[in-house]
Amino acid sequence: MEADGFVPSSTLESPAVERRVTGTIAATGFGILGNSVLDATGGFVGTFTPRMTGEPDFISMLHRATPEPSASVEPEADYEGLPQGAASSTHMLAGAVAGIMEHCLMYPVDCVKTRMQSLHPEPGARYRNVMDALQQIVRTEGLWRPIRGVNVLAVGAGPAHALYFACYEKIKFSLSDAVHPGANSHFANGVAGCAATVLHDAIMNPAEVVKQRMQMFNSPYRGVLDCMGSLLRQEGPAAFYRSYTTQLTMNVPFQALHFMTYEYLQELLNPHRQYNPSSHVVSGALAGALAAAVTTPLDVCKTLLNTQEAQAVHVIPAGAAAAASGPESRYISGLSEAFRTVYRTGGVPAFFKGVQARVIYQMPSTAISWSVYEFFKYIITKRQHEKRLRGDRDGDK
């Protein structure tokens, strides 16, 4: 008895059978000729023999023989792999928008962090926690006081983050291809984050100095320009980069840990690297919190170098001050000196002053930065992809 599409091998020599096999293949897409399986074109697919131990069965062979989807299906835009020639502009625009939004939206918490890291806070600037600090500042100094100095940070954050993300993406993909082709490399992510930080901090450091001077309690400056002019007259241009090496010492491990954690979490939460806002928010927040907590001692030293807190400067031993010469003898300079000053002032706990505010600031800050960056990168890349597809269609006509 013959089943549809199957022919006994004893009748294979008959021309009629040959016509039946051909017709069956045309109708069903497959047919049996002896122990051989033929596809719609008459090509050999496999054999229909009893399966031995360890051999693939007929079903699996037939499944593998299924024709591939048509190549005419339009591919989805891969926003991780940007169109050639558009990568730099895309990363720089997305990075600039992300940086400005990150710093501006979280600026009030950053103001609280700067004050809570003060080694000798004045009676009016002693706070129990972040919410208590914000309430006191608004109640005693006015509604707009927590965002004083935000304009200088916005001006610096745009170009700084544009270079930051463009450099990061370029080095990450180049180094990943060299170290671990076709896969994610944590080493490449770390190196890319460190290199991007050097450029970022070179632009942001002067803005950070002015910002923190204006955030301090009883700041004597009327505005950004007044602060910059006063610093130039009294402390010279070096004041804007006095904390640069400390900033790098803090940000290189911060960004290396931040990027490696973010990319690791993306592998877990978003393994296909599609645009997924929730995974970007969660990965960014957790990566920022971990990196912020670990590097808080260096951030305390950086704040001291930027603000040159008067009472902390007097902690410097008389012998060290006398040994120094020139106008810089009145200022704390360098990471080692800042480290010693912090330790003499409050011991080991002083290195973790403001850690709560720093983590609270960094979690939403990095979440905002990554989610905005990934969103703009996705939108820009999608538009470029659609434009390219339209150009291909017009060329085919």
Q: SS3 for 336-382, per residue?
A: HHHHHHHHHHHCHHHHHCCHHHHHHHHHHHHHHHHHHHHHHHHHHHH
Instruction: Give me the mean pLDDT over the 18-25 stretch.
Output: 47
In tens, the pLDDT along 213-247 reads 999 998 999 999 999 999 999 999 999 999 999 98
Kindly state whether residue 133 falls inside one of the protein's structural domains.
yes
| Mean confidence (pLDDT) of the chain | 77
Kindly state whether residue 12 falls inside one of the protein's structural domains.
no
How many domains does the chain contain in total? 1
Kindly state whether residue 232 falls inside one of the protein's structural domains.
yes
Whether 8 has a pLDDT exceeding 50, the answer reads no
- Which amino acid is located at 191 in the chain? V
Whose tokens are 């505010």? That residue is 357
Whether 11 has a pLDDT exceeding 50, the answer reads no
Kindly state whether residue 8 falls inside one of the protein's structural domains.
no
Contacts of 73 (CB under 8 A, 6+ apart): none
Kindly state whether residue 397 falls inside one of the protein's structural domains.
no
In tens, the pLDDT along 74-128 reads 444 444 444 444 457 777 887 788 888 888 888 999 999 999 999 888 888 889 8
Kindly state whether residue 53 falls inside one of the protein's structural domains.
no
Whether 183 has a pLDDT exceeding 80, the answer reads no
Q: What is the dihedral of CA 319, 324, 327, 332, to 10 degrees?
A: -70
**What are the tokens at 177?**
């291809």
What b/e readout covers 198-226, taking b as 16+ CB neighbours within 10 angstroms?
bbbbebbbbbbbbbbbbbbbeeebeebee
- For position 236, which CATH number holds? 1.50.40.10
Whether 51 has a pLDDT exceeding 90, the answer reads no
Whose tokens are 């400067």? That residue is 313
- Using pLDDT thresholds of 50, 70 and 90, give the confidence band for residue 314: low
The boundaries of the domain holding residue 265 are: 88-315+331-385
pLDDT for residue 102: 82
**What are the tokens at 79?**
């926003």
In tens, the pLDDT along 289-303 reads 999 999 999 999 999
* Cα–Cα distance, 46 to 35 (Å, whole number): 8
Q: What is the dihedral of CA 180, 181, 185, 191, to 10 degrees?
A: 90
Kindly state whether residue 263 falls inside one of the protein's structural domains.
yes
Query: Do residues 375 and 383 make contact, with C-beta atoms less than 8 angstroms apart?
Result: no
Contacts of 216 (CB under 8 A, 6+ apart): 114, 115, 118, 307, 309
Kindly state whether residue 37 falls inside one of the protein's structural domains.
no
